[in-house]
Amino acid sequence: MMDTLLTLAKGLPLLALGVAAGATYPPVPVDLTTPVQHRIAINSPTSVRIAWNTYQQLSQPCVQYGTSPSSLGSQSCSTSSITYPTSRTWANVVTINNLTPATTYYYKIVSTNSTLETFTSPRLPGDKTPFNISIVIDLGVYGKDGYTIEQDETKRDLIPSIDPSLNHTTIGRLRDNMDKYDFIVHPGDIGYADDWILKAHNWLDGKDGYQAITETFFNQLAPISARKPYMTSPGNHEAACQEVPQTSALCPSGQKNFTDFINRFGRVLPTAFASTSADQQAKVNANKARLLANPPFWYSFEYGMAHIVMIDTETDFEDAPDQPGGSAGLNGGPFGSYLRQQLDFLEADLASVDRSVTPWVVVAGHRPWYTTGTSDCQPCKKAFEPLFYKYGVDLGVFGHVHNSQRFAPMVNDTADANGMENPKAPMYIVAGGAGNVEGLSKVGENVTTNRFAYDEAFSYATVNFLDEQRLQVDFIKSDTGEILDRSVLFKKHDQRFVVQ
């Protein structure tokens, strides 16, 4: 891919003179207030945010809701309807507060052309009921402007889509099994709109292709993300209109520096929850984390027996790959008010976790520092791994590499001697095989601490919180639903506040 990018970069003046390939936009509805690209997110233990896009700005976005599909007796509104240069749509968001925990609600976005949707409100922190989440990373758009079943010779034939003829795909699998998981975690590389220039071979047409791919992807995802909280953080494919190093200045103003990602998710995702621990210092640390959080880049939330942190592996730490001077040459960020804001947030947030309330701690980001291939992010490892170990993170979730991998609990490249039975070090997984235009990545040869690796077809992961001491990770083959790998991590969690 990098050789292709560099070759393309050298030919930019010529390509700019070519004939535009023509991007295929989704049709614009007659009623411009028609909701599209729906997505919801957990906002607090008793609230969610409902977000959607429209083809005109709304003066007052509103959502009607209730616990019966025939009686939507409550309404919540906002004035949040924003857009950016080159976007055809406005992003709208409404917060629904004071929800009864773990309860089915029905909602309808106020428009002359909207449909009834449903969601289940969050579980309160400390609820020890088992639950399951889906991990979907590096997920791209399906279709002639993305990738299609005609590309089966490169294993790109199982591309996510909601088309009934393509049921055996990652999105199809998630759509058909929504009763089996509570929410989706997607840390980065969302839609792959920035790969349009490589397909179009035309720089000038890139801005239209970028927007068309973005709209199409979120329309394809909407049947799921309208009903299941969709918790994201950034990847390298959110940074700019393309991945050609040191050329982001050529992108339109609305298609660089994570603009669409910020516009789409910045007002939707939470900061950090107030601590429900009885410990006063935990409350102080949680409040500090809340002040330092910077959604959609870094934030945390709690759900039942889990504390989940979303981090930004692209910017805002020393030698971060996507920020100015970084190895990716994408010139994004920084987004904090000072260089260590994200790391200070992470430390305060992890220090606030009371394991008697939320025994499991999961941190998700895009770039891994443990992988069987060569795409390991060493600056990420230097920045984040010491905090993971110090505060006893149980599971690290990453993508970026387009396959599925599971590693032994480990620290400093060394497997924990206890293995999966009460290790001190975090367990790591890579779940980047969901499917996108770039296809799959070969497993590679760095297998010393690897316990599972799969690159033969598209796949994704689930994390099942069985009880306070057992966590199960499954890797699932997208086309058949076959469980490719299953592992169970046991942790005693007999220490309220972990500091190692």
Q: Which of 64-73, 147-156, 189-198, 289-298 has the lowest mean pLDDT?
A: 147-156
Q: How much is the pLDDT for 251?
A: 87
Calculate mean pLDDT across residues 51-79.
Answer: 97
CB neighbour burial string for 386-405, b if at least 16 within 10 angstroms, e if fewer = ebbbebbbbbbbbbbbbbbb
User: What is the reported pTM?
Assistant: 0.92
Q: How much is the pLDDT for 102?
A: 98
Q: How much is the pLDDT for 45?
A: 97
Identify the residue with better confidence: 11 or 429.
429
pLDDT at 56 > cutoff 80: yes
Q: How much is the pLDDT for 22?
A: 59
- Structure-block tokens of residue 358: 């939320």
pLDDT at 340 > cutoff 80: yes
Q: How much is the pLDDT for 143?
A: 61
Pairing verdict, β 62-66 and 299-303: unpaired
Give the confidence band of 47 by pLDDT, cuts at 50, 70, 90.
Answer: very high
Calculate mean pLDDT across residues 41-58.
Answer: 98
450 touches 124 (CB < 8 A): no
Q: How much is the pLDDT for 355?
A: 98
Q: Which of 138-152, 222-236, 336-350, 373-387 has the lowest mean pLDDT?
A: 138-152
Q: Under 8 Å CB-to-CB from 189, ≥6 apart: which residues?
A: 137, 138, 139, 140, 235, 236, 237, 238, 366, 399, 400, 432, 436
Give the confidence band of 333 by pLDDT, cuts at 50, 70, 90.
Answer: very high
Give the confidence band of 205 by pLDDT, cuts at 50, 70, 90.
Answer: low
Q: Under 8 Å CB-to-CB from 143, ≥6 apart: which residues?
A: 24, 161, 216
Instruction: Supply φ then ψ for residue 380, to 5 degrees.
Output: -65, -45
Calculate mean pLDDT across residues 352-357.
Answer: 98
Average pLDDT, the chain: 89
292 touches 345 (CB < 8 A): yes
Please report the sign of the dihedral spanned by the C-alpha atoms of residue 293, residue 298, residue 302, residue 305: negative
Largest CA-CA distance found in the chain, in angstroms, rounded: 65
Calculate mean pLDDT across residues 393-422.
Answer: 98
Q: Which of 140-154, 197-211, 241-255, 370-384 has the lowest mean pLDDT?
A: 140-154
Q: How much is the pLDDT for 162?
A: 37
Q: How much is the pLDDT for 418?
A: 98
pLDDT at 203 > cutoff 90: no
- From CA 281, how far away is CA 308, in angstroms rounded? 20
Q: What residue type is 50 in one-letter code?
A: I
Give the model confidence (pLDDT) of 431-445 as tens digits. Answer: 999 988 888 999 998
Q: 3-class secondary structure for the chain?
A: CHHHHHHHHHCHHHHHCCCCCCCCCCCCCCCCCCCEEEEEEEEECCEEEEEEEECCCCCCCEEEEECECCECCEEEECCCEECCCCCCCEEEEEEECCCCCCCEEEEEECCCCCCCEEEECCCCCCCCCCEEEEECCCEECCCCCCCCHHHHHHCCCCCCCCCHHHCCCHHHHHHHCHHHCCCEEEECCEECHHHHHHHHCCCCCHHHHHHHHHHHHHHHHHHHHCCCCEEEECCHHHCECCCCCCCHHHCCHHHECCHHHHHHHCCCCCCCCCCCCCCHHHHHHHHHHHHHCECCCEEEEEECCEEEEECCCCCCCCCCCCCCCCCCCCCCCCCCCCCCHHHHHHHHHHHCCCCCCCCEEEEECCCCCCCCCCCCCHHHHHHHHHHHHHCCCCEEEECCCCCEEEECCEECCEECCCCCECCCCCEEEEECCCECCCCCCCCCCCCCCEEEEECCCCEEEEEEECCCCEEEEEEEECCCCCEEEEEEEECCCCCCCCCC
- From CA 292, how far away is CA 302, in angstroms rounded? 17
Q: How much is the pLDDT for 92?
A: 98
Calculate mean pLDDT across residues 289-307.
Answer: 98
pLDDT at 461 > cutoff 70: yes
- From CA 168, how far away is CA 295, in angstroms rounded? 33
Give the confidence band of 4 by pLDDT, cuts at 50, 70, 90.
Answer: very low
Q: How much is the pLDDT for 479?
A: 86
- From CA 121, how far away is CA 227, in angstroms rounded? 10
Q: What residue type is 457 in one-letter code?
A: A
- From CA 240, how far away is CA 254, in angstroms rounded? 9
Calculate mean pLDDT across residues 464-471.
Answer: 98
- From CA 449, how far away is CA 371, in angstroms rounded? 9
Q: How much is the pLDDT for 253?
A: 83
pLDDT at 159 > cutoff 50: no
Q: How much is the pLDDT for 152?
A: 38
108 touches 63 (CB < 8 A): yes
Q: How much is the pLDDT for 198?
A: 61
Q: How much is the pLDDT for 9?
A: 40
